Amino acid sequence: MKKNDQYISIKESRRIIRENIRQMKYYEAQKRKPRELSEYTAPMRSNDNLIEIDNLKTCFFTDNGTVMSVNGVSFDVPKQKIVGVVGESGCGKSVTSLSIMQLVQAPQGQVVDGQIRFNSGELGQTEDGRDIAYDIARTPTSEMYRIRGKDITMIFQEPMTSLNPVFTIGYQLDEVSFLHTPGISKEDARATSIEMLRKVGISMPEHTYESYPHELSGGMRQRVMIAMALAGDPKLIIADEPTTALDVTIQAQILELLRDLQKKQGCSIMLITHDLGVIAEMADEVVVMYAGRVIEKGTAQDIFHHPLHPYTIGLQKSKPMINTDTNEPLYSIPGQVPSPINLPNTCYFRGRCDKCNKKCAGPYPAGVQVSDTHWVACYLYENGKEENQ
């Protein structure tokens, strides 16, 4: 009788658990370990970038094996730009953002490899003029408290679960000032919080300051989350699907607000969503992810006017259009995403691709620079242009 690959024995499960405990203890100890500044800093590749992610690997240690949620992701977030990260649910978008914040759920979730260079602008330069940056993947937890919430902030997906229901809006906003501005008085913290609420378009900020989260609508709560993100005057705002829980009109207001604030504050935004319409409207550069890897990246014009990877093309075809024939069924990409525990050595999209050829049975395709701004990981473009099958 053939062994079912979907099940593991009790003996194998126990072995996996023992190995998981050993590795989790190791990575947790690394986070608590005192380090010299030179051990968690690295030079930037380009001084124009705020974040540089190189070969990032983030995994979750489960009883069935190690889940590679982020498996060698590399991309940059330039200064004063909006970078959109797009892909279907479970492709690793949110885990990538949580890795940047060092908020991956520990001890099961750990960043196991790669670099996340954050150009804070306060560590000086190397002899050849490159900015020295924090390597967040190796930065101790104690040092991350100073960066997280001040220089790098996050707008979470669901504001009702992100705001504490038992504290007022003012209490939660003031906390940001108290944490990142030592010695600030209660009066100054209150004034700062009210100014932030006014900046995000709340008409009666004093009243909202005294309110509890349940007294506000979804759009108001999301504006409060944006105000909280702005309170520390951040260099990078990570917006993890900030409009998912909102209706279309409120969604448009929130996106317009984010774009205006980004221009006024001079910060960068990493916008995570599965809505291609939002990406097309907001992003300067686009990163397309699939099964924990970046499969295509380029400017918004590259991705939307000249998509290359069959998955990117499929994503765009899956979006309903206003001029689509109503009798025609909506396109969907056939097949299933491979299991993140036992990922194949070949291209992860191979089983779902209508342009698959013999080369696709080989190792995972290396990335190809098609133009100065456009990059794709696909065997169809080995020589920089689409090859005949």
Strands of the chain, DSSP E: 41-43, 49-62, 65-78, 82-86, 109-118, 132-135, 152-155, 236-240, 268-273, 285-290, 293-299, 368-369, 375-376
Contact in structure between 70 and 290 (CB atoms under 8 Å): no
Cα atoms in the 13 Å half-sphere on the side-chain side of 132: 11
pLDDT in tens, the chain (389 residues): 445 556 778 888 899 899 999 999 999 998 888 889 999 999 999 999 999 999 999 999 998 888 999 999 999 999 999 999 998 888 999 999 999 999 999 899 999 999 999 998 888 999 999 999 999 999 998 889 889 988 999 988 777 778 899 999 999 999 988 988 888 999 999 999 999 999 888 889 999 999 999 999 888 888 898 889 888 889 999 999 887 767 788 788 888 888 888 888 889 999 998 888 888 889 999 999 999 999 999 999 999 999 999 999 988 888 776 666 666 777 788 888 888 888 888 899 988 888 888 888 889 998 899 999 999 999 988 776 665 54
Instruction: Centre a 10 Å sphere on the Cβ of residue 270 and count the other Cβ atoms it contains.
Output: 26
Instruction: Centre a 10 Å sphere on the Cβ of residue 208 and count the other Cβ atoms it contains.
Output: 23
What are the domain boundaries of the chain?
A: 30-151+234-381
**Distance from chain centroid for Cα 381:** 27
Residue 170: C-alpha distances to residues 152, 167, 227, 231, 234 (Å): 21, 8, 11, 12, 19
What superfamily in CATH does domain 30-151+234-381 come from?
A: P-loop containing nucleotide triphosphate hydrolases (3.40.50.300)
